[in-house]
Amino acid sequence: MSKKKGFLEFVAGNRFIHILLSILLGFLVGAIFLAIMGLSVGEAYGRLITSVTSLKGFSYVIVYSIPYIVVGLSVAFSFKTGVFNIGAEGQFVMGSMAAAVVGILAGGLPKIVLIPLCFLAAMLAGAIWGVIVGFLKTKWGINEVLSMIMFNWVAFYLSNFIAGIPAIHSDGTAEATKNISDNASTLLSKDLINSLGLCPTANWGILVAIAVTVLVWFIIEKTTLGYELKAVGSNKFAAEYGGINVNRSILTALAISGALAGLGGSLQLMGMGSRISVFSSQEGFGFAGIVVALIGCSNPFGVLIAGIFYGALTFGGSKLNLVGAPTQLINVIVGTVVFFIAISIIFQRLRYIRKPAKPKAPAPDKKANGKEAAEK
């Protein structure tokens, strides 16, 4: 039936409003927790705001947000193309380790060669990590979510193992790798940082993140590749009927998504970490990427903003203990935001059912997914 443009526009507008509402609700729930703990809401949130609005604070926010943006793009890309890249975590770890290995072992190379080399190594490592999972899915129908979660752990232990190899391991007592060569670092020069009054880890990775945002948008919206991947993501049966090679598309989507997550890992390492510690638990950048992709509606530019927002929350949150509030408050806020966005997505998804499902009948999406799962 004819539900005109007005209706869709309304829904599209509603989407943005939904996100803003979810964020507001997140802060509201956070405020309730603060009140229960007998802390001043005004003081805590005031602190949160002041800590990110100074120039130095904001430079911290930007630095924090770089990996979130790029991993967010990785997950958003996977959402758009119908694979759920919950393995961004492992691809991120592989990417940062690959960049570290190159940045340590090939440290003598000039900056102009070494930095792109580190990026490439990281993207390759992330892509391989994604493609293996894709291969398991397309070849034997192994559910990608399960294998990705397992591959996250494989990456985790592999990273710890590589960090222990003598050529890589720190010469000192630290349970970490050596520092990467200065030639592999994306940090701004000390003079520039001091004269501008930025944070000590200020780096130009944000430019890469912005460039990648534009690139991802371009691929998704403007290229035949994006068309193919989206078609497979939306309806792989019609895509196959239309002559698109579905398996190749899934592999391509996972390779690109993995490469992005890997790149995120290298940006984090080369701009902030300089070395990789032996982890005792997963760092969670990949999972943060899922949150960022959700808040950004899987739109590349939305992800860019959401990544900065998330960076602000993490950095600002770390300052909360100065007013006696627990830093975990941020997790409460983020969790609530994701919860409400997830609800809004369910309503969004109902948009294509011209005649909504009968009561108690599961949403048709579920039906489609079930079908896909059963197909394999």
Partner 1 sequence: MAKQYVDMNTPVIEMRNIVKKFGDFTANDGINLTVHKGEIHAILGENGAGKSTLMNQLYGLLKPTSGDILVNGKKIEMNNPRDAIAAGIGMVHQHFMLVQPFTVTENIVLGTEPTKGVSLDMATARKNVVEISERYGLSIDPDAKIEDISVGMQQRVEILKALYRGADILILDEPTSSLTPQEIVELIDIMHNLVKDGKSIIIITHKLKEIKESADFCTIIRLGRYIGTVDVDTVTESDLASMMVGRNVTFKVDKPEQTPGEVVLDVQDLHCLDYRGIEIVRGLDLQVRRGEIVGIAGIDGNGQTELVEVITGLRKGTSGKVLVNGVDVFNKSPNFGFKHGVSSIPADRQKHGLVLDFSIEDNLILQNYGKEPYSQKNILQRDPIFAHATESIEKYDIRPGNSEKRPAGTLSGGNQQKVIIAREVQNDKDLLIAVNPTRGLDVGAIEYVHKYIVDQRNKGKAVLLVSFELDEIMSLSDIIDVIFDGKIVASLPGKGADENELGLMMAGGGKKHE
Q: Residue 35 or residue 353: which is nearer to partner 1 going by CB? A: 353
Residue 33: C-alpha distances to residues 325, 328, 341 (Å): 10, 11, 20
Least distance from partner 1 to the Cβ atom of residue 346, Å:
16
Residue 376 carries which DSSP code? Answer: -
Taking the complex as a whole, the smallest distance from the CB of residue 226 to partner 1 amounts, in Å, to 8
Tell the smallest beta-carbon distance from residue 233 to partner 1 (Å): 9
Applying CB under 8 A, the residues found at the interface with partner 1 are 1-8, 222-228, 230-231, 234-235, 237-245, 352, 354-362, 364, 366-368, 370-371, 373-374
Q: How far is CA 114 from CA 82, 120, 122, in A?
A: 35, 10, 12
Query: Measured between alpha carbons, how far is 264 from 272 in angstroms, rounded to an integer?
Result: 12
Query: Which residue, 335 or 364, is less far from partner 1 as judged by CB?
Result: 364
| Nearest-approach distance from CB 228 to partner 1, in angstroms | 7
- Minimum CB separation of residue 219 from partner 1 in Å reads 10
Q: Which is nearer to partner 1, 105 or 363 (CB)?
A: 363
End-to-end CA distance of the chain: 34
CA distances 223 to 218, 228, 268, Å, are 7, 9, 29
Q: Are 228 and 250 in contact (CB under 8 A)?
A: no
Tell the smallest beta-carbon distance from residue 255 to partner 1 (Å): 16
Distance, in Å, from the CA atom of 119 to the CA atom of 262, rounded to the nearest integer, reads 8
Q: Between residues 245 and 321, which has the closer beta carbon with respect to partner 1?
A: 245
For partner 1, the closer CB: 190 or 358: 358
Burial 64-76 (b: 16+ CB within 10 A, else e): bbbbbbbbbbbbb
Beta partners for 203? 187
Cβ proximity to partner 1, 245 vs 327, nearer residue: 245
The least CB distance from residue 38 to partner 1, in Å, is 43
CB 78, CB 220: distance < 8 Å: no
Our CB check for partner 1 shows the closer of 88 and 297 to be 297
CA 201 to CA 267: how far, in whole Å?
12
